[in-house]
Amino acid sequence: MKYCFRCGKETKTKSNLNSHLKNKKECNIIYLDISREKIINNYNKYYDKYIECIKGEKPLEKIYRCYYCDKTYIKKNSYNVHKKKYCKMKENINKREIFNDFLHTKYNLLKLEYEEKLKTNTELIEKELQNKIKTQLENKIKHLEDKIIPYTEVNNNICNNIINNNINNNINNINNIFIINNFGEEKIIMNAKDCEKIMSYEFDMIIKLIEYIHIIPPENRNAFIPSVKEKYAMILKNQKWNLIDKKEFINNLIINKNIMLEKMLDQYGPQFINVNANRSRSVINYCKNDEEECKRIKMNANLLLFNNKDMIRDTYGLKYNKKIKI
């Protein structure tokens, strides 16, 4: 038999005694007032004293030890009063738990607010982009009209030939007005206002940056995901579409965009008016380190490049004045 010299518990094996002594809550001191480590390390040394205490002397009075501040009490009533009213360590622990709960709820509320703002802001940005595209097309039409109008007084046959030739040439020029850049060689034009708009999306700023670079400008539509079930993505290299591992592609794309966001903050952060640059930097760091947030961003990036695959395919076909199956 093996004995606990503190409380007198009997065990059959030494391993059971060790598990009793290594428990988180210490047992009450009834016989010998010694630490549990001494019993484990010097069991034989204190065995005789324990036997003498059992046979000859009365056992010690039961001691009640506070779990939070490690104070001991002989009477149970005084121990309960201390635990309920006077233990300062317990109050501090409870305050920390309350404060952590408060921070967690506040974070969830802020996240909901930002998500609602994102929904409203996306509609506004889409309208602005449509207006920009309309104005660009109108300017091109006016430019063509200015070229065509001086020839209206010429003979009808000659005029028709000239107009038809000009229209065909202009259509071919419009179709070939851009060359799709290879992946990793995108031409990006960005100012402080554009950066501030992207930063205003907070937790979805990476997705908006991918859209701003690879979806909106036709000349940079050089990557897409052909299928959700397949393990591959398509990227343009040397004006040829190549297969690449989808997971590796998404991971590298997000890392690259995180680096770009940090550079944008360093360059344009002091010029921001409606966005706090320090707040944006902390959100970037959080998105890097939080596993659930990383999974959400990867999923949204997959969906963005999958949902816009037809647009990218059509753009690549227009480059050669015909539709091409990719």
SS3 string of 98-161? HHHHHHHHHHHHHHHHHHHHHHHHHHHHHHHHHHHHHHHHHHHHHHHHHHHHHHCCCCHHHHHH
pLDDT of 325 higher than 50? no
pLDDT score, position 152: 52
Joined together, the tokens standing for residue 257 give: 């965009």
Beta bridge partners of 242: 235
pLDDT score, position 91: 62
State the pLDDT confidence band at 315, using cuts at 50, 70 and 90. Answer: confident
**Distance (Å, whole) CA 235 – CA 225:** 9
Mean pLDDT of 194-203: 90
- Alpha-helical regions (H) of the chain: 14-21, 36-41, 43-55, 76-81, 88-148, 156-175, 192-199, 205-214, 246-268, 277-289, 291-307, 309-318
State the pLDDT confidence band at 269, using cuts at 50, 70 and 90. Answer: confident
pLDDT in tens, 227-263: 888 889 988 888 888 889 999 999 999 999 899 899 9
pLDDT of 211 higher than 60? yes
Please answer whether residues 222 and 235 qualify as being in contact, where contact means their C-beta atoms are separated by less than 8 angstroms: yes
Q: Rounded to whole angstroms, what are the CA distances from 12 to 17, 18, 64, 234? A: 8, 11, 27, 68
pLDDT in tens, 141-172: 877 777 665 545 444 555 555 555 555 555 55
pTM: 0.46
State the pLDDT confidence band at 108, using cuts at 50, 70 and 90. Answer: confident
Please tell me what DSSP assigns to residue 183: T
pLDDT score, position 143: 77
pLDDT in tens, 86-101: 787 776 665 566 666 7
Mean pLDDT of 166-193: 70
| Least confident interval from 113-127, 154-168, 284-298 | 154-168
pLDDT of 40 higher than 90? no
* SS3 (DSSP) at 218: helix
pLDDT score, position 177: 46
Mean pLDDT of 205-221: 89
